[in-house]
Chains A and B, each alone.
Chain A
Amino acid sequence: MSKIRLNSFVTLCGALALTFGAGSAALAQDGRDPAYAAARAAGQVGEQKDGYLGVIGNASADVRAMVRDLNNKRRAIYTEKAAGKSTIEEYAFATACRLIAQTQPGEKYQATDGSWQVRSAGAPDRDPRCP
């Protein structure tokens, strides 16, 4: 686990040096399944503005099944965390604001108009209600 973390950190430092110095980049996930990480990097999977993952284009059945599974897990987490605080949708939306901000350049995210965008080095096109 610590080796994976170290590797991730080294990769991140490289990405930071090459692209931009936003602190949010350091929060990228490092516990991802390799298939999920690969699908994200390949632009087959993107962050939706509602807090769930979306499949872009004609991805394989494996990728679709993986996204369905991850979204089910996300929904379970949102449901649990939102209890007593907000609606599930609001919690998911608040998380989406963070998740889209944390996408790495080259990854895909859903813009305010619903279209899929490739994250550039600059700020992503997020909902104006995002903090």
Chain B
Amino acid sequence: MKALELTGSVPAATSPAMMSQAQYDPQRKGLRFGGRAVCAAMLVLGFGSALGGCVNVSAPDKPIVIELNINIRQEVIYRLSQDAENTIKENEGVF
């Protein structure tokens, strides 16, 4: 119950109006926003337990890297497709 109350108070603390000029940094706020977006995405994916870690993680890199790997791999497989077909034909009996 206490934890819930603490969680509820977090948005108010992060509001620029509530922070001193020295503490408020637009760039930092942007990062925080990005962190929230990632947090929401992770929630959608079922990583609800990672909520606490979302605030500080510089996560945007990771999903992009994974996506890139898939694209590169897929491109290679498209390129190899005809080659693979020829290989199958050349090696009857093994395939």
| A131 partner residues in chain B, CB cutoff 8 A | 77-78, 81
CB neighbours (8 Å) of B58 from chain A are none
Q: Which of A30, A70, A77 has the most CB of B within 10 A?
A: A77
A33→B79 CA distance, assembly (Å): 30
Looking at the complex, which one of B73, B85, B92 makes contact with A90 (CB distance below 8 Å)?
B73
B88, A27: Cβ atoms under 8 Å?
A: yes
Query: A residues near B, CB below 8 A?
Result: 27, 29-33, 36, 70, 73-74, 77, 81, 85-86, 90-91, 93-95, 97-99, 102, 129-131
Query: B80 to chain A: which residues have CB within 8 Å?
Result: 85-86, 90-91, 94-95
Ordered by A's residue number, 10 sampled pairs between the chains whose C-beta atoms are within 8 Å are A30-B92, A31-B93, A85-B76, A86-B80, A91-B84, A94-B76, A98-B85, A98-B88, A129-B73, A131-B77
Interface of A is mostly: helix
Which among B78, B79, B87 is the interface contact of A81 at CB below 8 angstroms? B87
> Is A86's CB under 8 angstroms from B84's CB?
no
- The complex places the Cα of A39 from the Cα of B32 at a distance, in Å, of 59
Chain B residues lying within 8 Å of A95, measured Cβ to Cβ, are: 80, 84, 87-88, 95
> Judging by beta carbons under 8 Å apart, are B94 and A98 in contact?
no
